[in-house]
Every structure is written in structure tokens, then in C-alpha cells.
Structure 1
């Protein structure tokens, strides 16, 4: 009776705390020696429950004579974790015992782990081990070998492992088919697909995923249209791929079509469409998806909750992101990092720091991405000393600094106007500065108007990335602010001679769950005409009631002031906010997403609109959020 009750409890267990309570019940009822019960405990802690691998390791250590199933379970859990290399140590421990003997599942899981951390040396040694145990020809082991060699970039070895199979089944064919895509051998994949005795749904899904990963959107669309049957994997692959490649409207359309067909979206589809919402700033649609997630019970799935945190954070509602975070039963490192990133984007540096400390107290060790988030938060809140302290703290955790961490430090000094310190930091870096590092410094020169340093930095960038349009535009902008019109003309002429085109600025706004995009110079439509008309009305009212004086110093042409005023009034974010005022109710927050950094004049205008029109405006530009309310911005003019 106790055994049946225990199995029933294990079947419904979803959290580590619940597992510990069941384990206590097992100990109390004397079921610790029941291999079925102990195996279920190990399976849940190794595979099913988040952040429970350390518990599984301790559990395995306390089992007097673990069998091959128990070892395989723990190796499987490690192979799918963030530390797959640890599975090799478990395999070595297993081999040092007289029993049990590794079986085909052992090699399949350990080879998968090797593939995940891309160690060709370990993979070859394990291939030899499978030969010694006479398991290398086992179909399950051989297909994993093909995948391992592919992940390590050895398509020749993967192909050889496949060719040695006397009668490959569809699983083996799909493995070599996948291997071709992983090694970027698209032509080889297409040939393999045609050679297959028959293609099943998995084959078609591999083809679809391969094209999406390679960025071959047209081929992916054609494959999806040609598929004889589509399952949830097909739809989720399409949605995630479209979102990843920036085809946001198509991602939303595919998700709606999936629902129209009466199919239930899986967790991968949900994370994909939430990613599209995050990129587009589609807050209202994100709220609808949140309701659906609660209804079907997907809020138990950590990856879905993480995607929700990211969506709310990037849609400008950090309070909703925090609510989702606080209600999570189990939190992964991604959960903590996503929440910190949300605080960082909104300039809430102190809150990000408090969360970082709570993460440490919870026992979760921060990783490199966690430190990027906290350094980013310090940079956007002007917390210089704190940023330096966290940068140095990385050594405590044994985390190797990447170029992104150095970039955050350059940004930290640059935003604070410490351009000399930023320059010295770059020159003292132990790794060679990339174009992104110098570009960060150039951006700081633009903010603080340092022409001389900007020219020096631009010379460095000309050596590393001469055709980047943003660098030319930034330098041109710096010259324009300084009134050096001859230099502006020289830079613009250089861009024209080299056929370098400026990245067009665009802004998006969600109205009645529909995304509208605005771009300066695009053809007029009913929507853009409405926006232009409203902009004229707004500018006039701001001048009369708000004392607005256009900030035209950054306009890149030596033209009359009236023309400059007209130029800045047509910036895409002004068109978007004008359209929002025209269409949205007074109580609605106007949420705008912009692909470039918001300019000084637009920042002034947004503050005045929030005061004169009594509207709350949230603008997400390339680097952070600006929340405008009652004539002030959340960035405190520090951006």
C-alpha cells in the first residue's frame, strides 16, 4: 500500500521541495531499498525537476549498489544540463566498479553529453570504449555517434559512422540528415533527403528546422507548404524560426493559424510567439498569451515563464515581469538573469543589484550572462563603483571575462562621461578590442561631444569595420553638433563614394492588438497621413503650452532652421506617438519600439507630450527603456 501511494505521489511531483517530502516519506516507511521507488526518485531529480541535479548526485552516492539504470538516469540528466562534461566523471566512476557494466543506453547518453559540450577528443575515446564493449554497431549507439561527430564539426566521421551501418533505418537516416545541417552542408542534406528510402514526418521537420537555422527562409516556407502532414513540432519550428529571423508578423500569423486549425500550441510554440511579442513590443498580445498560459497550465514550465518575464520586460512593464518571476515555483539561472536584464533595461540598477544578491543567497551560482546583466544595469543607472566591484567579482566565481563584459565596462565609463578612463580601460584589455568595443566608445563621444577622441576612435574602426554605416553617421552627427559642416559633408560624401547606406530608423506601436510601423520617407498611406497630420497639431500645441524649442543641433545638414525643424518633426518615434494619441484612449499607455537610439529632440518632445497631453509614454530604443510621465523620464536624462 505504501509503495503504491509513494508511486502516485511521485507521478504528480513537480518541484524539488515536493520531492524532498516524498523522499522523507520513503525513508520513514522503509522503502529506501526498493529499486523501483529509488529509481523514480532519481529519474525525477535527474531529468524532470529543474535545479535538482545536485540532489540526484547525493541520492546516487547514498545508494549502496546502484544498477545500470540508475547510472544511466543520472548520466542522462547531466548530459542535458548546463554542465554535460560532469557526466564523464559519472561514467568513469561507473567503470571503476565491478558492476554494473555499461550498456547501449549508457553510451547513447554519454555520447550525447560529449556532443553537447563539443569535445571531439572525449567523443573519440568513448567511440573506442563502445568498440571494447561491443556496442559500437548498436543502432542506438551508432546514431548518437553520428550526431556527436556532427556537433563537433566532423561531417566526414559522421558520414563514415553512417556508411558502416549495414541496414540503416529511418532514425539513422535522420541522424545523418541532421548532421549535414549541423555542419552547414545544406547541399549534402538535400542530397541525403532525396536518397532516403522514405521520408517520415521527422525527416520533414529536420529539413524545416535546418533551413530555418541556416536563415534560408524562402526554402523553409516552401518546405512547410510542401509537407504532407504537419504536427506541433512543425508549427513550433516555423513560429520560432520566423521570430528568430525577425519575421514577426508571420510568426504571429502562424500562431493564429495554428489555433484556427484547432491544434493546441505546445511550450515551444508559446516561447516562440512570446519572443516575437518581446521583439515587437506587443504588450496587449503578450497579456492574452499570458492568460492562455495560465489557463492551460503552462505556467509550471520554467522556459515558458522565462519567456513571459522577457516579454513583459521588453514590452515596458517590469512590474508584470516581476509578478511572473515571484510566482514561479522553480527558478533557473535564466529566470534570475532575465529579471535582472528587465530591471537593467528600465534603469533600475539598485533593484537589479538586490536581485543579484537574492540569487546568490538562493544557492544559484551566477554565470557569465548574469554578470552581463548586472554590469548592464550598473551602466544604465550610473553606478560606477558597483559596476567595477561586480566586474572584479567575476574572478571569485572563476568566470572568464568575455568581450561582452569588457564592452559593458567601456559603456559604464562612457555613459558617465569618463572618456579618458574608458580609453585607458580599452588599451589595457588583455584581449584585442573588437569593433563593438571601439563603437561603444564612439557612442560615448557622441553623447558627450568629444570631437577629437571621436576622430581617433573612428580611425580604429576604419581598420576593423570600414563599411559600418553607424560609425559614419555617429561621426557625422558629432561634427554637426559641433557646427563643423565641412567635415559633415566630407563624411557624407565618403559614405556615398563607398556606397554605404544609413540604417533607416523605424518605430512600431501596438494599437488594438495590431502592430503599426513608421519609417521616415516611406510612401504615404492612410495611417502615415493621419500620423503626419497629428504631428503638426502636437508640435504647435507643445510650442504654445509647453514652450517647446526644437533641438536641431544634431540635424546632419547645413540648412535653414525651418527645414531642420521639419526634419526632426518627422522622426519615426514622433509619428508613432502621434498615431497613438490619435487612436488610443486617454488611459492607455502609449508603447513604442524603436530600432535606433532615441534622439535628444524626440526625448524632449516625449517629456512635453506626457505633461501637456497627460499621457504615459514608454519608448524602447536600441539600448534601454524610457518611461515618460508628467514631464519627466525614468532615465533621469541619463542615457
Structure 2
């Protein structure tokens, strides 16, 4: 009666008041501790029982064995096994089955197999323990073999067997086999078992076959919190946040009880300011139901507030926590880093160290991008060395990028050489460093070295290699890279294929680029945009416009980059009407033009002599005109001799960019070309008064020219 958590102390007092404490009394107390997950106390009571010369029975061992798998290591499990044999229970099926489970959970699956073979009369439970042991130790094939043997020996699978074998199918990635198990479930009428239904639901969710999962979910006669959580978490992980919120609202509408898992899943999807109100509602629900005392949930709330831009709310919640984990500190640091608050990140880390809080690699990964001085980065490097975190690949990768950011490429290479040569992420990091610093030959050399040690590249490696080819502008190298990509099957990745199309377009082979584009396994928005941009690079505005028409007919959505490439192509080809149609089409599609789009339109109209229209766009656009946009229009005013608009543009340049000498020179030249020498001299005087000088020109021809 006193076995519940709240009355455990009363149970122990009653135990010590007992006049006679036989084995049943000891078993009752040991079992009380085990059921309440007080494994250490349970095991200590077992040892005290032996010291009091009380002979244990099979129930004693079945109650005590779980303590080893949940609290102790394999040495305790082995000692308890010896104790079982010593007291003559080495052939008891229930005891052997409990020991099997312990060995399997401690990773000693071979020991579990030996015990299974020793059981003379195997039970359904012993088969289930073996099958689940194989699954939990990453041996799904063995679990399927055991599942089949179990049936051949006359045992019919139960709900526990089905749940385990579905996990095995998921680990194997065998959807067809999982569907066969689902058919077995339907045929044997296991669908009424909520645990089995949830396991089938989780299988389809993790495959992921979300549409099948959703249909199955709707057909479930009974749903519990686990059912709802499975669907919500998978929608969140697949990036379908809106659907996850719809399911959450439906759960609440149908009276489903939200638990900490529900809240953790849905809170992780809130990353925009618009989610802030819903996040605060869930925070209120957590307080009302008492879940706010859960450290993991509080960490998720801190992340939610930071992701929604409410750093003060996240900081207050962090400060009010009675108990913090390393995740708590990292959550707030990540929020500060996201908004580039480097000082706050550094101060928080210093406080963390001062309070002797445990740090991990996430803490270091938050710190390194925030270093504003090389000395700070070196200090963090030293801290990582001192704490042993330098062994983490993610930390080494971040250090490589940090040193490269300060231009210390040699140090980046040294850090790279410290790491495990078999880790592809380190090779990717050093290749990206060489690409970013325009040292393409070295990036290609790193790739060749990687092949020499038989390390298989991944998609990121290949993308860095393609970027190197773009910098080197070598068709021969591009051909070799393409052959390698096709040979290794990377061409089936749409991102890699898009990069290949861009590579050939930039290397001057628009024909090959178009062939690659036409034979793509899959075309996304980027594919079309890259090919359109390729035509722009080759000055073929008509080809770009024809491809854009095909893109619209195909139903693929177009983005701002697509329109920017088109407008730039029209600008350089002088196609005014076509450019205006493209610009209007962009607005009709619901895309708001950015500064770059307005700059292209101004350049297009200015080149064609439509200076008044270009000037009107400069005045009407919702952004501050860029320096390049204004200089482009001012240059056109010089070309077409339009003094009036030229003077207006100069006034804008004078107000916005007063120290830019080029605008003064251009206005001076406009007045000089029109014979207005007095105005030209006035502009020169203003320049001299502001101590501005024309940037000197230089020649690419001469004795000192080097390339």
C-alpha cells in the first residue's frame, strides 16, 4: 500500500518496525524502490538483505536485476549473475530472462544470447527480450531471424514483438517489409492495441511517409498523447510547421492532453516573431500544468523566445531558473549569437566558467564566430585544449574557419592536420577556406590528397570542388570533375547538378550547360535561375527570356534571383520593353522588388536614354538609392548631355555620399561636355574645398605590369 513515490519513506519505516522480516517483506521494499526508479536504494536493500542472512528467491533477483541496467555498469550485472548461480537460481526462466534483458541493455548482446540458449523452456517473454535486444544493439537482421524462429517454434507474436520488429524494419530502411508487418497487424487485429498502432504510426512517420501516416492517424479509433506527439514531431522535423500547429490545435479541440514532449516538439518550430504569441500561450499552459519546472522544457522556452527576437524574455526566464543545465546556457548563448551580440555571448560564457558550470562543444561553437580579435580566438582554442574538447570534430572545424576569418590560413591548415584524417567534415572545411580565399589550386590539391587516402567525398566536398573549377575557369578540369561526379552518382543530387550547369556557363560553354540542364533528373527553381543567369553571362537576353517563358509554363515558382538575372540580361542587351514586362510580371507574382531590381531597371532605362523614367524610379523606390545606382544614372546623363537630371542626381549624391569624389568628377565632365565651364570650375572648387581628389587611373600595359 505504501509503495507509491510519496509514501516510500513510510514503507521503509514500516519495514523496520516489522517484528519478522522474511523474504517477502524484503522483496516488497526492493520492488518498491525499483518501481519508483530508485535503483541505487533498491540495490543497497538487496545487499543489506544478504548481510542479514536472508535467503533470496527468484522474485528477489527479478526485482533487483533492473537496478544494474538502469544505474550500474556491466561489472555489477556480472556480480549479480554470479549471485544468482550461487543461490541456485541459474535455471529459473524468469531470472534468466531478467538477466538477458540487463545484458542486452548494457550492450552485451552475446551474453544475452548465451543465456537465451540456456533456457530449457523458452517463453514468449524470453523471445521478446531477445528480439528487442537485437534491435536496441543495432542488429535488425538478427532480430528478424529471431522473429521468424519464434513463430516456427509455435509462438505467436504479441504486441511487444510487433513494436520491436517495426523498429527493426525502420533501422533497415525497408519500407516494404514494414508494410508487410502492418498487414500482419491488420490481419491479427492488433490495431486495437494502442501501443501497436502508435508503433505503426511512428514507422510511417520516420520513413518518412507522412501522407500515409496522416491517413492511418485519422483512421485510429483510439488516440493517446503519444499518437498526437508522433504526428506533431514528424511535421516539425520535416519543416511543415504550419501543419504541426494545425494538428496541435486539433489535439486541443478533441481534448487531447498535452505533455512535455508535445510542448518540446511544437516549441522547437517557433522561430519567427509571428510565433511569439502562440509561444507565450504554451508557456502559460506549462505554468498552469506544472511542466514549467522541467529543465528541458524551460530550455526550449528560452530558445523559443530568443528565436522570436525576444531576448529579454529569454534572459529573464534563464535568470529565474532554480536549476540550469549546460543546454540552458547554450540556448541563451545561441540566441545572442544569432543576433550578433558578441559581447553578450562572451560575458555569458565568462559567467558560465566562473560558476564552474560544465561546458561542451556547443558552447565553443557559439563563442568562436563571435571573436572580434585573433587573441580571443586563440584563448578559446587554448580553453578547448585544456578541457579536452579539441578532440571534437565540430570544434576543430570551427577553429579552422575562425583562423581563416582573420586571414591566418597557415594556422587553419595546422588545425586541420591535428584532426582525424578520416573525418570528411574537416576536409570540407579546409577546402572551403581555400575556395573563400581564392586559392582554388590548393583546394583542388586537397581534394586529390583526399582521394589518395581513399576517403569518400560527400555532396559538400563536390560543391567546393565545383567552386574551385569556377575560379580556375578551366574547361578541361570541368570535364574531369563532371566525369567524376557522374561516376560517383552525385549528379542525381539537384544541388550538385545545378552547380555543374553554372560551372559550364561560367567557363564559357553555354551549349554543354544547356545540355546538362535539359537532362537534369529533377529541376527546381534554382535550376532554371542558374540557366537563365548563364544566358545572361553570355549576353543572350533572348535565350534567357525564352527559357523564362518555359519556366512559367512548367509551373515552377520563380524567385527574386530569377528576376534579377532576367532584368540584368535585358539591361545589357538594351531590351527596354521586355525589361519593363519582366519587372511588372515580378510585381504581379507577389514578389517585392529589392534594391538590386530597382538598380537594374534604372540601369536599363538610363542606358537606353529614358532618363526621366529612370529618375522617377529612383524617386519612387522604397529604399535609399545605392551609390552604384545613382552613379549609373549620372553617367547616362553625361552620355546623353542631360544637365538638368544630372544636377538633381548630383544633389542626391552630395546629400547621401558627400565624400565620394567620383560623383564630383562626373558632374564636372557633364558641365565641361556642355561647354558650361563656369559650372565645371565651381564643382572643381567644391572638390578642392572638401579635400577630395580624383582617384588616379592606371594602365595594364607597361614594364611593371604583372599578372
TM range (shorter): 0.5 to 0.7
Cα distance change on mapping 1:453 and 1:501 into 2, 3 Å = same
The alignment status of 1:173 with 2:357, answered yes or no, reads no
What corresponds to 2:459 in structure 1? 267
What corresponds to 2:590 in structure 1? 398
Q: Secondary structure at the match of 1:217?
A: coil
The alignment status of 1:225 with 2:414, answered yes or no, reads yes
- Measure, in 2, the Cα distance between the counterparts of 1:308 and 1:495: 53
What corresponds to 2:522 in structure 1? 330
- Measure, in 2, the Cα distance between the counterparts of 1:333 and 1:109: 29
What corresponds to 1:435 in structure 2? 627
Cα distance change on mapping 1:188 and 1:262 into 2, 3 Å = same
- Measure, in 2, the Cα distance between the counterparts of 1:391 and 1:429: 13
- Provide Cα deviations, 1:220-264, integer angstroms capped at 9, x if missing partner: 431332341153222222322332344444444444444455433
What corresponds to 2:612 in structure 1? 420
Does the CA contact (< 8 Å) of 2:502 and 2:531 recur in 1?
yes
Larger helix proportion of the pair: 2
- Measure, in 2, the Cα distance between the counterparts of 1:237 and 1:265: 12
Alpha-carbon shift at residue 205 of structure 1 (Å) = 0.9
Among 489, 494, 499, the residue aligned to 1:307: 499
What corresponds to 2:704 in structure 1? 523
Cα distance change on mapping 1:138 and 1:386 into 2, 3 Å = farther
Cα distance change on mapping 1:235 and 1:377 into 2, 3 Å = same
Q: Secondary structure at the match of 2:623?
A: coil
Does the CA contact (< 8 Å) of 2:646 and 2:667 recur in 1?
yes
Among 332, 338, 353, the residue aligned to 1:151: 338
Cα distance change on mapping 1:495 and 1:375 into 2, 3 Å = farther
- Provide Cα deviations, 1:492-538, integer angstroms capped at 9, x if missing partner: x9799646646878xxxxxxxxxxxxx5447367xx7xxxxxxxxxx
- Measure, in 1, the Cα distance between the counterparts of 2:403 and 2:216: 42
Alpha-carbon shift at residue 436 of structure 1 (Å) = 2.7
Does the CA contact (< 8 Å) of 2:229 and 2:261 recur in 1?
no
Residues 186-195 or 362-371, more deviating:
186-195
Does the CA contact (< 8 Å) of 2:345 and 2:367 recur in 1?
no
- Measure, in 1, the Cα distance between the counterparts of 2:197 and 2:519: 35
Task: Report how many aligned residue pairs link the two structures.
Answer: 486
Does the CA contact (< 8 Å) of 2:498 and 2:526 recur in 1?
yes
Larger strand proportion of the pair: 1
Structure 1 unaligned residues grouped into runs of 5+: 14-18, 47-52, 506-518, 529-639
What corresponds to 1:320 in structure 2? 512
- Provide Cα deviations, 1:609-628, integer angstroms capped at 9, x if missing partner: xxxxxxxxxxxxxxxxxxxx
Q: Secondary structure at the match of 1:263?
A: coil
Alpha-carbon shift at residue 423 of structure 1 (Å) = 1.1
Does the CA contact (< 8 Å) of 1:7 and 1:37 recur in 2?
no
Q: Secondary structure at the match of 1:394?
A: helix
- Provide Cα deviations, 1:48-83, integer angstroms capped at 9, x if missing partner: xxxxx9x7997798675544344222212218xxxx
Cα distance change on mapping 1:362 and 1:226 into 2, 3 Å = same
Does the CA contact (< 8 Å) of 2:634 and 2:649 recur in 1?
yes
- Measure, in 2, the Cα distance between the counterparts of 1:88 and 1:245: 44
- Measure, in 1, the Cα distance between the counterparts of 2:593 and 2:652: 23
- Measure, in 2, the Cα distance between the counterparts of 1:173 and 1:496: 54
Among 66, 78, 90, the residue aligned to 2:239: 78
Cα distance change on mapping 1:68 and 1:269 into 2, 3 Å = same
Cα distance change on mapping 1:246 and 1:141 into 2, 3 Å = same
- Measure, in 2, the Cα distance between the counterparts of 1:271 and 1:194: 32
Alpha-carbon shift at residue 110 of structure 1 (Å) = 4.8
Does the CA contact (< 8 Å) of 1:235 and 1:254 recur in 2?
yes
- Measure, in 2, the Cα distance between the counterparts of 1:470 and 1:249: 37
Cα distance change on mapping 1:287 and 1:423 into 2, 3 Å = same
Does the CA contact (< 8 Å) of 2:661 and 2:694 recur in 1?
yes
Q: Secondary structure at the match of 2:239?
A: helix
Q: Secondary structure at the match of 1:78?
A: coil
Does the CA contact (< 8 Å) of 1:308 and 1:321 recur in 2?
yes
- Measure, in 2, the Cα distance between the counterparts of 1:436 and 1:379: 15
The alignment status of 1:216 with 2:406, answered yes or no, reads yes
Alpha-carbon shift at residue 338 of structure 1 (Å) = 1.7
The alignment status of 1:277 with 2:469, answered yes or no, reads yes
- Provide Cα deviations, 1:378-415, integer angstroms capped at 9, x if missing partner: 33343333332332333444323221121121122123
Does the CA contact (< 8 Å) of 2:661 and 2:693 recur in 1?
no
| Bigger relative contact order (CA 8 A; separation at least 6) | 1
Alpha-carbon shift at residue 182 of structure 1 (Å) = 4.4
What corresponds to 1:194 in structure 2? 382
The alignment status of 1:288 with 2:480, answered yes or no, reads yes
Cα distance change on mapping 1:522 and 1:269 into 2, 3 Å = farther
- Measure, in 2, the Cα distance between the counterparts of 1:75 and 1:159: 33
Q: Secondary structure at the match of 2:334?
A: helix
Does the CA contact (< 8 Å) of 1:146 and 1:159 recur in 2?
no
Cα distance change on mapping 1:279 and 1:72 into 2, 3 Å = same
- Measure, in 2, the Cα distance between the counterparts of 1:307 and 1:76: 27
Cα distance change on mapping 1:257 and 1:353 into 2, 3 Å = same
Q: Secondary structure at the match of 1:398?
A: coil
Q: Secondary structure at the match of 2:363?
A: helix
Does the CA contact (< 8 Å) of 1:151 and 1:182 recur in 2?
no
Alpha-carbon shift at residue 313 of structure 1 (Å) = 2.1
Structure 1 or 2, whichever has the larger Rg, is 2
What corresponds to 1:388 in structure 2? 580
- 1:360-399 paired onto structure 2 within 5 Å: 360-399=552-591
Among 521, 524, 535, the residue aligned to 1:343: 535
- Measure, in 2, the Cα distance between the counterparts of 1:433 and 1:195: 46
- 1:539-554 paired onto structure 2 within 5 Å: none
Cα distance change on mapping 1:261 and 1:217 into 2, 3 Å = farther
- Provide Cα deviations, 1:148-179, integer angstroms capped at 9, x if missing partner: 4421345537965996798866xx53222222
Does the CA contact (< 8 Å) of 1:143 and 1:175 recur in 2?
yes
Cα distance change on mapping 1:148 and 1:43 into 2, 3 Å = farther
What corresponds to 2:547 in structure 1? 355
- The alignment's TM-score, normalised by the length of structure 1, stands at 0.61
Q: Secondary structure at the match of 2:360?
A: helix
Among 427, 447, 459, the residue aligned to 1:235: 427
Q: Secondary structure at the match of 2:568?
A: helix
- Measure, in 1, the Cα distance between the counterparts of 2:689 and 2:484: 49
- Provide Cα deviations, 1:286-340, integer angstroms capped at 9, x if missing partner: 2221111111111122221222122222222222222222222233322222222
